[in-house]
Amino acid sequence: MQGIYQLFFHSKPIIGVVHLLPLIGSPGSMFPFREIRARALSDAGTLIDNGIDGVIIENYGDAPFLPGRVEPHTVASMAVIAEEIREHYPQTPIGLNVLRNDAKSAMAIATVTGANFIRVNVHIGAMLTDQGVLQGRAHETLRYRSTLGSEVKIFADVAVKHAVPLAPLDLPTSAADTYHRGLADALIVTGAATGKSTDLNQLQTVKTAVPQASVFAGSGVKTDNLAEILQYADGVIVGTSIKRDGVTTNEVDADRVRVIVKARESKTHYYSNRTMAS
């Protein structure tokens, strides 16, 4: 846990999502790469310049997502974008999420570009998704990190959105296994889908099951539920609610970013006395 919070300047970090436009080679691709890169840099700048503590880059526009390894041109595109954001904002923690579940490519990009963390949707176990059955590859991801000599952190979902377990899921056990056996550096709890509110009961359950873990709320975080969420979460990942008109595919809205950052600072009495386990 100590290592996670050394990444951020705030004790309750807000991580903003840079949703990439459809990359070259994806079914929805309609933009030249220079426009995709410019939009990503613009969104990252709007997030960081208005008080967000870190950013995570996602190939969100590439639906339908590949269930396994992404194509080399996707890796190349995301590496170029991550490197450019890093050059412009060298002090800001940067993460990668290579959808739908390509942790190895994410680890490679993050390591080469000097990014700080990756998000893995299915790190252990198996989940039934719209890409079919996704199986966790913690064994591969951790060994690959060791091979690279990388210090990139792994943020792993527990009961990830847009998915259901193949068998009844014992959430406390799954959370504990993800942290202790999968060796994730942080855990993420989400709602059922992108933009859907994180279930507070699930969030509290995961934090109670693994109190020493850093637990992030990963979807549906808004100004009006931020304080409530941060009673249990150690940080949040924000995407849809800070876009223009609250639409995930729109550009980041500076006013919405400032409002949610201000909401965190004005509600510190909800959680300022909570200490982080080390």
Give Cα 234 to chain centroid, integer Å: 14
> Element (H or E) spanning 129, and its range?
strand 126-129
Whole-angstrom distance, CA of residue 247 vs CA of residue 196: 12
What structural domains and CATH numbers belong to the chain? Answer: 2-270 (3.20.20.70)
Handedness of CA 123, 17, 266, 228 (dihedral sign): negative
Q: Is 94 helix (H, G, I), strand (E, B) or coil?
A: strand
| CA distances in angstroms from 202 to 60, 134, 192, 274, listed in the order given | 25, 22, 12, 19
pLDDT digits (tens, 9 = 90+) for 231-250: 999 999 999 999 999 999 99
Whole-angstrom distance, CA of residue 30 vs CA of residue 21: 9
Q: Is the pLDDT of residue 168 over 90?
A: no
Nearest partner of 96 among 51, 139, 59, 141, judged by Cα: 59
Q: Is 237 helix (H, G, I), strand (E, B) or coil?
A: strand
Mean pLDDT, the chain, rounded, equals 92
Q: Residue 263 CB: number of other CB atoms within 10 A?
A: 17
What percent of the chain is predicted at pLDDT more than 90?
84
Whole-angstrom distance, CA of residue 7 vs CA of residue 35: 30
pLDDT digits (tens, 9 = 90+) for 114-146: 999 999 999 999 999 999 999 999 999 999 999
pLDDT digits (tens, 9 = 90+) for 2-23: 457 689 989 999 999 999 999 9
Q: Is the pLDDT of residue 277 over 70?
A: no
pTM: 0.93
pLDDT of residue 274: 46
Whole-angstrom distance, CA of residue 206 vs CA of residue 118: 20
Q: Is 195 helix (H, G, I), strand (E, B) or coil?
A: coil
Whole-angstrom distance, CA of residue 226 vs CA of residue 223: 5
